[in-house]
Structure 1
């Protein structure tokens, strides 16, 4: 098992020797563009609390004619994820091998399915992917998967979170605090985890690109917050969604983050991966926060209080 773990995750450590904790995580989209040899400009990461600055606008204007190229690269990244071996196989052969997928499943079985049949791991990943864009009802999840108790479902999800296979996205209030007893969303931290069920088990559907996009952006933002304040990812205190007065959701609400001049709040983000009709979606953020970013598929429009920015460029601004 040690060899498998090393093969899957080696080298994905945190940045900077000053950090006491190093997270072993798959590649970011920025890493993927670098190692896959795509000749695309890499805008520098933005300040999380100032993602609509004049500098960011200038950087986005420079790459505006390449939005379709970024979209194609983003879709490729969402198909293979960021595990180093998966990226290598996808770049060199065009697909992640069944052998590697089985190795990945074996790692998850060892960590998650100590008390159940191995087949339950792909079914759990499939169920979480299907429900990722909505608050997770753990009791219903357990019933649908035949767990027999809510406690078993909670235990399986807790194990996935503790191995960094998932990140929790709780509901937050207008001060960035988690809302007690509210249902949280649960994102898989690597796109390949969402593909594993459909590639290894018949009867499970392929994950849609909008869902994969929201999960990938959530993970990127969570890790960006952890780099600003070490330990937040480990303790599950990073991202969060919020509800408007009309009951609509904003995927990534502002949360407090330390800066050199005191505490600031992150820029509100929404992931929609649309190619048209984005203004109606942006009004949800605009009405609540008066500004923010809507992550689209290939629309770049910086002329409104809420910017439309292609999801891959949002990912690059975050990491």
Structure 2
């Protein structure tokens, strides 16, 4: 897409309606939709942004990044910031070098009355620019007042983010947390959004799930077991995309246009890269069938009918788009061994259900979704304690030998300490029998994540804790 100065002006005026009216939010489609969702959900991924900072906000499409940006703009306006100091523009499909045109024309013409005063830039979908957008941003930070401004770049793909963040070294301003992530709601946010009456508990770290403090937490949650189990079942059905959660609250179902829009996101990049919709459907379905099992890529590729390299590229693209995540096998030291077969999971239950919804495939087994979302809870926790961990690093792994397997082991991304091992068995009885694999493994200790059984006897090598308890306690900061 070629973007000239006239098109820049049109795009910025369209995307910055507060320039024209202080009541812009009352007619803004995104803000009206968020208000009409009837859910209490205000993520803090852009909290405390400041002048001079260069922030990267990333996460999947349809997860609410645009609404979050607009709410942040509302907050700045409420603080008395001049509307012309706040610039938002969506640059999806732009040539990267046109970001320079954007900066120059906005400063020289559209907001010239501000002079050299600080500006707040919200540049949406910068990762969808064509070309090395990070080089243009780096040059602007080095050679213009853009380096003194607050800049928020948003993106829906992990591709090239490592290269970008490397280029931004020393240019991100006086901030400690420039990487920000917005993922689908965690379980705690989901419960809060649906106004489920649950006790306030202190967040637990992933390395203290069998501690004395954890035991106190499990006992505090025990009277609410029925409520938590019911909420967890709903979470496995609905997922954490805000629009889906809002529709479930109002109508007890996820509307067809919502999951269809999510499917459009999944297939858009695939079709652009030359993969047809039938094969893409087979890939998504194949991942769903393999949830909780090590994935042999060669056999998977043969099943789908594509070359191994083609399948790997498609899985890489899904992972880059924050739709799929990898759980590699751990070596004897607990580190990821990328030479061995790993597991693949989706980042949200609604994505896992797309083959069923779109093509009428078999429903994903709830025990596999339970395991997936336990892993996602750990993934989200790691991202909170160490921003950026969701896009780089193999912190969550699984253990496997000839006779046993443990679903989730690994290390905490902030301190490098060992996580409490978790084996997901969505059972309501015979938990001790199910725990034998964990108990008799080389690890020997950990938590069996059940459906509704709690047994946290002090001194026991294996505890039984409901999956909903674990996900709920991990939903809070845990720092």
TM-score normalised by the chain length of structure 1 = 0.90
Partner of 2:430: 277
Partner of 1:227: 384
For 2:333 and 2:227, the matched residues in 1 are separated by 38
Larger radius of gyration: 2
Contact 1:169 1:184 in 2 (8 A): yes
Contact 2:270 2:276 in 1 (8 A): no
Alignment of 1:217 with 2:346, yes or no, is no
Gaps of 5+ in 1: none
**SS across alignment from 2:329:** coil
Partner of 1:73: 231
What are the Cα deviations for residues 167-187 of structure 1, in whole angstroms up to 9, with x where unaligned? 100000232212241011011
Partner of 2:119: none
Change (3 A) 1:296 1:205: same
Q: 2:421 pairs with 254, 258, 268, which one? A: 268
Q: 2:405 pairs with 249, 256, 274, which one? A: 249
For 1:42 and 1:112, the matched residues in 2 are separated by 43
Alignment of 1:297 with 2:451, yes or no, is yes
RCO (CA 8 Å, sep 6+): is it higher in 1 or 2? 1
Deviation at 1:142, TM superposition (A): 1.5
Partner of 1:205: 362
Partner of 2:213: 55
Deviates more, 1:301-310 or 1:111-120: 111-120
What are the Cα deviations for residues 143-202 of structure 1, in whole angstroms up to 9, with x where unaligned? 21122x001110110000111101100000232212241011011000001111111212
Partner of 2:340: 182
Partner of 2:188: 30
| Count of matched residue positions in the alignment of Structure 1 and Structure 2 | 309
Gaps of 5+ in 2: 1-14, 16-28, 31-59, 70-174
Once the two structures are superposed, the pairs formed by residues 100-115 of structure 1 within 5 Å of their partners are 100-114=258-272, 115=274
For 2:345 and 2:61, the matched residues in 1 are separated by 23
Partner of 1:9: 64
Deviation at 1:24, TM superposition (A): 2.5
For 1:308 and 1:230, the matched residues in 2 are separated by 30
Deviation at 1:58, TM superposition (A): 1.1
TM-score normalised by the chain length of structure 2 = 0.61
**SS across alignment from 2:435:** helix
